[in-house]
Structure 1
Amino acid sequence: MSQTKGLEGVVATTSSVSSIIDDVLTYQGYHIDDLAEKSSFEEVVYLLWNGQLPNKEELQSFSQQLVENMEVPEEIFNYMKAYPIADVHPMAALRTAVSQLGLYDAEADASDIETAKRIAVKLQAKIATVVTGFARIREGKEPVAPKKDLSFAANFLYMLNGEQPNETATDAFNKALVLHADHELNASTFTARVCVATLSDFYSGITAAIGALKGPLHGGANERVMGMLSEIDTPENVDSYIQDMFDKKEKVMGFGHRVYKNGDPRAKHLREMSKKLADITGEDKWYEMSLAVEKKVTDSKGLLPNVDFYSASMYHSLGIDHDLFTPIFAVSRVSGWNAHILEQYSDNRLIRPRAEYVGPDKRSYVPLEER
């Protein structure tokens, strides 16, 4: 029996949701560059779930469905207020809250496609409110209700800060959501599909995916990038800091990718938005440090930045707490998880791979009294 460590290069399923071919990322056949530059996040979510871009009427209806489903049961926020706030990472809070949301949905256990699509809308809408609500509760503030006349991206920033964001901030956040929406069969997406392939419920699938995303080798990487930049502190310290990491054989987070050989195509868009926000805020040291780190790592190791690297300085420029970076990843990626769960339900087969046994062989049982 042949095996590949980490399933690298193994094709585990067929999917029409997204593709990575020759270092080109597409959603349902649309190039990521076109979607990042031209589409709203709502359009991209509709595309991922329906296989086509919406017309004006479809987009208006879908956007309205999302905003109308953003409110969460008050009990969820009451539970959050009982969490040991000082010790709870927002990803742990999100994982718990999404699981709890299933308790308040009478349709939670259904797996027929029409009901599943309604659940997908609920989860896509409510996850933004859960993340922003927790962020405010731990600061001793009350959650902010969404505004029905704001886009998904603008509503997230509004619910987080209690102030309507400017156009540049909204555009930057919208672009980040688009770029993180799906990425073929990554770890969290595979986890979601494995979970619902047992015909477990939608909420379990998303909860499982959040658990996988929480790890620093997946969604947690951008938070660790910002931690590194904070320790470096000034562009002048970059060379010695990164060289010290090289000498200690430590991994520089935000560089390299198992799938892309010539660079992550999403990184350039986030680099551009990081620069734009740095110019507006006047805090350009984070962008300058990022550029310096990129040059050092690329020149020394030949590694190129991935989507996590510049998303860190971009989110920081938006005034977002560093430990919220991964939950924001989830706010976007739930769109892809939902698409893959819908695809799995529509043509399901239990996912049950084999393992190559490498343990001891042909052992003889020794009675207890003789051991």
Structure 2
Amino acid sequence: MPTIETGDPVDVPRGLAGVVVTDTALGDVRGREGFYHYRQYSAVELARTRTFEDVWHLMFHGTLPDAAERADFAARTAALRHLPDEVREALPVIARSSVLSGPLAGLRAALSLFGAAADLRPLYDLDTDRRRADALAVCAAVPTLLTALHRLGQGLAPVEPRDDLPYAANYLYMLTGEEPGPRQARAVEQYLVATVDHGFNASTFTGRVIASTGADLAACLVGAVGALSGPLHGGAPSRALDTLDAIGTPDRIDAWVRAQVLAGRRIMGFGHAVYRTEDPRSRMLREIAEGFGGPLVDFAVRVERRVEAILAELKPGRELHTNVEFYAGVVMELCGLPREMFTPTFCAARAVGWSANILEQAEDSKIIRPAARYTGPPPPQPVPAA
């Protein structure tokens, strides 16, 4: 990659679109092909065939575990699900403060508190093993924090994590208080695996920028969560379901969709900033949804087909297909997750991808420090007298 000396600004596209800012061994998104990968493996194939813990191990250690490594890694991460007393005692206050904004907003405060209580030190001061240990601790705590904040916001007591359950099953257990069926647990696990990482999106880049300053791991994740919370980035599987609710019945599909498109409004769950073909995550989640079957799935498939046909008619030449949000919302609804927990569930998976990127960035001692073009009044102007 060419280097630019300090003081030599270079014009780049708005939003850094398409600009390569670093090298990574963690994965990539090939939008024109409809393909993305974690390290050297297809992310969708991993979601079909491997556990969440396997992929977590892959992202942190660079290899898929064998049976013994899988058991050891699962046991180590499960033991880290329990929160420090200082954090548990503060969660009711955080939940009350974020009752309107939701668990994702509460998570920012909770992660900051967790970082302080766990004595997470600046990445700059730590060796590789300690950084990885901190990352494991934070990633293991995120589902516990999210589910506790949600339940407290609903007036329910948090459910303590179970060390004997896999990551996805334990997440559902802490959320509902009931051990999930294997079908539901596996469907959610496949969704979690499919959303661990996805290139240099805004939240991943934010986490890496903070990591480049040498800040502690919790600080990096707080920034990433903040970026994810923006409606232009994090998306909202619940909004895709809201679309199905707004349409209501099959006979209303065409009229509703045409009205939205002609009014210039976005149809939630369709289109993606990178993919120019079908989102591979959507394809896999559609298959999972069709495995459940039922009226909601039938209606979603019918809406998808008609929306794509109408978009092709009204916006010829543009490849607009369902993205991960559309069928993610359907799958999570079928698995009993409340809609306000759809995006937090995404966050529970992406924390692992963020952390892997933060660990990779921490190996580079160069701070990320771009430039900006000044467009205000020409300086220096005389300072007016008081």
Q: Same fold (TM over 0.5)?
A: yes
Larger deviation, residues 293-302 vs 79-88: 293-302
- Deviation string 1:32-65 (CA, Å, 9 cap, x unpaired) is 2321210101101110111111111111111111
- Deviation string 1:246-298 (CA, Å, 9 cap, x unpaired) is 1221122222222222222211011111222344xx64465346534455445
CA distance in 1, matches of 2:189, 2:81: 17
CA distance in 2, matches of 1:315, 1:286: 16
Letter in 2 for 1:141: L
Letter in 1 for 2:340: D
RMSD: 2.1
5+ residue gaps, structure 2, are: 1-9
Q: Does 1:7 align with 2:19?
A: no
Letter in 2 for 1:109: P
Which runs of structure 2 are paired with 1:1-371 in the superposition (5 Å)? 1-21=10-30, 22-82=33-93, 83-84=96-97, 86-110=99-123, 111-279=126-294, 283-284=296-297, 287-288=300-301, 290-291=303-304, 292-297=306-311, 300-301=314-315, 302-361=319-378, 365-366=381-382, 368=384
How big is the shift at 1:323? 1.7
* TM-score, normalisation: structure 2: 0.89
How big is the shift at 1:10? 0.3
How big is the shift at 1:69? 0.6
Larger deviation, residues 112-121 vs 73-82: 73-82
Larger deviation, residues 246-255 vs 322-331: 246-255
* TM-score, normalisation: structure 1: 0.92
Letter in 1 for 2:285: L
Q: Is the 8 A contact 1:94 1:130 kept in 2?
A: yes
Paired residues in the alignment total 367
5+ residue gaps, structure 1, are: none
Q: Counterpart of 2:3?
A: none
CA distance in 2, matches of 1:299, 1:78: 56
Change (3 A) 1:163 1:289: farther
Letter in 2 for 1:96: A
The 3-state SS of whatever aligns with 2:29 is strand
Q: Counterpart of 2:6?
A: none
Change (3 A) 1:36 1:296: farther
Letter in 2 for 1:224: R
Q: Is the 8 A contact 1:254 1:307 kept in 2?
A: yes
Aligned identity (percent) is: 34
Once superposed, which parts of structure 1, at least 4 consecutive aligned residues long, lie more than 6 Å away?
none
CA distance in 1, matches of 2:48, 2:59: 17
Q: Is the 8 A contact 1:277 1:318 kept in 2?
A: no
